[in-house]
Amino acid sequence: MQDKTLQTIIDTFFTCNRAELMEIFNELLNALQTDGVHHPGGLMSRNYETAQANPEIHTLTGNLRDARDAIFPFYWGTDEWYSKLHLENVKGPANYASLIGSLACLLKNPNLCIDTYSQRSNELEVKAITALANLVFYHTDSPWGIFNMGGTISNLYGGKIGIEKVLPQAMSKGLQGEKLAGLVSEAAHYSNKTLAGWLGIGTNNLHAIATDSSFVMRLDKLEEKLDELYRHEVRVAFVIATFGSTDAFGIDDIAAIRNLIDAKAEQYQVPAPQLHVDAAVGWILCMLNEYDLGLNPFGIEDDVLPVFERIQSHAKALQCADSVTVDFHKMGWGHYPASAFIVNRRDDLRLLLRTLDQMPYFSEAEFRHDPALFTLECSRPAIGPYSVMASLNGIGLRGYQVLLAHSLEMAAQLKKDLTALDYCKVLNANTTGTTVLWWVLPKGRNAQEIYARLEKGELTSEERQRYFHEIKHLFDKRVHDLNPQIDARLSFTTAVGYSPHGINIPAWKAVFFNPKTDREVIGQVIRSIEDL
């Protein structure tokens, strides 16, 4: 080949031009800082049809600035979530220690599937998994796990191990016509339906167990469903408990669920289902396991200290779980993707093993350090372990405790301020997390009284529809009147995860993930409600 383009490509795209890369990176940082002085506004124009009609692949070889120009308008049009006014959902700003870790990962670009492709990055994954396992299981003898693309995949792993436990060799022989089921709480994330469908159990065989008014799975209903399924000779592959539901931050009683499913398995002489815990949101509470409540070194307010005590009780029960989902890209304030699937006992992962003859191009693989032998993915990025270890050792345990304590205090303050308004009702007053759900009704209505009547089943259908319409209408009115310079962006959910008498309850929602959010923001939320 006589074309000189090859050398140009090598010089431009495969040779590190430090000065040019730093210049472009500084331009991106400058744009990021400019974003930071603006307040979050509405959605920018998104021209999907235009994007599809103009996919744009340049014919001639260009340079790094062409690469920058191709993505810059979309980079500029993407919110970085650094504003303290972002309270919409379980997403916050990524910390800059995580950025350092993620950039280091991208520069080397390891693939965690096998030691040959990742070398010491594979070792870093083991360190990161073990660090998280010691937090969530409150020390454990033989944990292991892997990072993957998100909480859905982590939950999928938990479900798959459960299938292999109750139906051995399903990996090779399939479900063989056997009836399988999985159990979750009605407050569980919708991704559990995804895994039930993808694993072949079927979404119709995923059973949602009712919650109580604290958004906790009801043990009496769980027991009823287990009895029903076992009597019909259905194999229960997994029970997925929730540790911090997405809307209400409900936390299931992990220890009690463990005792119940083991007792029922013994009663019916069947293998116990996998007890997987979806702690994608709530795992961060484990940072407070060893916070000294007596000394109270952070000076936590007296009305918030009992929340810390309950958190410690909840968190230490995680050691009863078989496996857990941790999303570090949520309240670890890390970069996507940094989701981890962690097993309490390393040997559980042997249930997912492939043989070397099934993967001949990885002939050097070994179970002790090569996850490709059991992972769903053949290509796994290392951003997770790099983000986790950089963040944990940059911010530190005490730093994370401070961040979490601040979020919990902000949530408690908003709950307190809303409770003082007769026409507002906090729906998750008893949860121990960073989310607040509430109603806003027209002034003159007694929200507490109306909610009590709803729970008792005393509201007529017409009354219920009218009240729910008013709650949504007032939310929409606030959105319309919102001052983007001072008013926090909230969100709305149509089903909070607790449905007395089968009724889905809507609510306003605020999530305190952003460490910059302060009492001034909360005060303005209350004023904006009073002005409605």
pLDDT tens profile 300-337: 988 889 999 999 999 999 999 999 999 999 999 999 99
Instruction: Look at residues 380, 400, 420 and tell me which one is the last residue of a structural domain.
Output: 400
Do 438 and 395 belong to one domain?
no
SS3 assignment, position 188: coil
40 has a pLDDT exceeding 80: no
User: Distance of CA 527 to CAs 318, 410, 523, Å?
Assistant: 40, 16, 6
pLDDT band at 58 (very low <50, low <70, confident <90, very high): confident
Share of the chain above pLDDT 90, in %: 80
Do 134 and 170 belong to one domain?
yes
pTM flag (> 0.85): yes
SS3 assignment, position 256: helix
**DSSP code at position 187:** T
The tally of domains found in the chain comes to 3
Cα dihedral: 426, 431, 437, 442 (round 10): -10
- Give the residues across from 243 on adjacent strands: 251
Instruction: Look at residues 347, 372, 400 and tell me which one is the last residue of a structural domain.
Output: 400
Residue listed under structure tokens 């968190």? 315
Residue 107 lies in a domain: no
Overall average pLDDT of the 417-425 stretch: 98
**178 or 354, higher pLDDT:** 178
* Mean pLDDT, the chain, integer: 93
pLDDT band at 10 (very low <50, low <70, confident <90, very high): very high
Instruction: Look at residues 382, 400, 418 and tell me which one is the last residue of a structural domain.
Output: 400
Do 367 and 344 belong to one domain?
yes
- Give the residues across from 508 on adjacent strands: 438, 492
460 has a pLDDT exceeding 90: yes
522 has a pLDDT exceeding 80: yes
In whole angstroms, give the CA distance from residue 165 to residue 180. 12
Do 326 and 451 belong to one domain?
no
Do 485 and 390 belong to one domain?
no
Residue 342's domain comprises 112-400
User: Distance of CA 408 to CAs 25, 248, 322, 395, Å?
Assistant: 35, 13, 28, 18
Phi (first) and psi of residue 233, to 5 degrees: 60, 35
pLDDT given at position 260: 98
Residue 102 lies in a domain: no
Burial of 73 (0-12, 13-18, 19+ CB in 10 A): exposed
Do 155 and 55 belong to one domain?
no
Do 390 and 485 belong to one domain?
no
Q: H-type helices in 214-332, by residue range?
A: 219-231, 254-267, 305-316
Residue 22 lies in a domain: yes
pLDDT given at position 128: 96
Residue 460 lies in a domain: yes
In whole angstroms, give the CA distance from residue 341 to residue 150. 9
Do 469 and 431 belong to one domain?
yes
pLDDT given at position 33: 84
pLDDT given at position 301: 87
| 158 within 8 A of 276, measured Cβ to Cβ | yes
Name the token pair of 212: 């109580």
Do 395 and 430 belong to one domain?
no
pLDDT band at 20 (very low <50, low <70, confident <90, very high): very high
pLDDT given at position 46: 72
| 447 within 8 A of 439, measured Cβ to Cβ | yes
**416 or 59, higher pLDDT:** 416
Overall average pLDDT of the 435-462 stretch: 97
pLDDT given at position 28: 92
Give me the CATH number covering residue 349: 3.40.640.10
Do 199 and 215 belong to one domain?
yes
Do 34 and 163 belong to one domain?
no
pLDDT given at position 363: 61
In whole angstroms, give the CA distance from residue 280 to residue 151. 6
Do 201 and 233 belong to one domain?
yes
pLDDT band at 38 (very low <50, low <70, confident <90, very high): low
